[in-house]
């Protein structure tokens, strides 16, 4: 399990040659709330954005993302439904429970790397609230409903408050 914040900026390396191909700049998320792939910034002077689908990633390491071949890097022909920070960003959107309860602003996502399944959302109520009360992580029981300005999740009224260590994020048990 990994968070987007830990992936952002990591180099993408060709596993066979050891060549750096670019850096992770964002994630592509479908309308169903599934991570479809990583967005890669590639180039020297003029950086272009490409897509690496989740199923084409060899492995995720602590300090790099490995792929088997540069051939799995695809040009983006149609923009992703959502990204975490750039086009149609999810970061900073208000999350609501299915009952209409305001849960907080989305700050990060936890997902299973091999499947692209989002298993948790890290929420914030602001800097001071994070310091005094800690950040909250919600674990949905079904895919979210992503709307223009909000994300609606079914959490069965279980909002967990946790203290998050930026270096070792873990979901509450």
Q: Are 1 and 10 in contact (CB under 8 A)?
A: no
Tens of pLDDT, residues 77-94: 888 999 988 888 899 899
In the chain, CATH 2.30.30.240 covers: 2-83
94-162 to CATH, choices 1.10.12, 2.60.40, 2.30.30, 2.40.128: 2.30.30
Residue 134 burial (10 A CB sphere; 0-12, 13-18, 19+) = middle
Domain 2-83, classified CATH 2.30.30.240, yes or no: yes
Distance CA 57, CA 87 (A): 22
Residue 109 predicted with pLDDT over 80:
yes
Tens of pLDDT, residues 135-156: 788 888 888 888 878 899 988 7
Query: What's the residue count for the chain?
Result: 173
Residue 167 predicted with pLDDT over 50:
no
Confidence of residue 132 (pLDDT cuts 50, 70, 90): low
Mean pLDDT of 22-48: 89
Q: What is the mean pLDDT of the chain?
A: 84
Residue 157 predicted with pLDDT over 70:
no
């Amino acid at each position: 399990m990994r968070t987007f914040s830990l992936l952002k900026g990591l180099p993408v390396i060709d596993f066979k040659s050891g060549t750096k191909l670019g850096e992770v700049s964002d994630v592509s998320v479908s309308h169903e709330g599934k991570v479809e792939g990583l967005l890669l910034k590639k180039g020297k002077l003029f950086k272009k954005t490409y897509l690496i689908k989740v199923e084409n990633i060899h492995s995720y390491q602590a300090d790099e993302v490995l792929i088997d071949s540069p051939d799995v890097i695809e040009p983006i022909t149609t923009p992703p439904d959502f990204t975490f920070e750039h086009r149609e960003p999810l970061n900073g959107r208000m999350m609501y429970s299915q009952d209409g309860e305001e849960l907080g602003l989305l700050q990060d996502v936890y997902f299973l790397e091999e499947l692209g399944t989002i298993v948790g959302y890290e929420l914030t109520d602001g800097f001071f609230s994070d310091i005094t009360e800690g950040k909250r992580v919600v674990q949905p029981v079904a895919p979210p409903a992503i709307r223009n300005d909000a994300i609606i999740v079914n959490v069965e009224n279980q909002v967990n408050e946790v203290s998050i260590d930026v270096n070792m994020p873990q979901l509450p048990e």
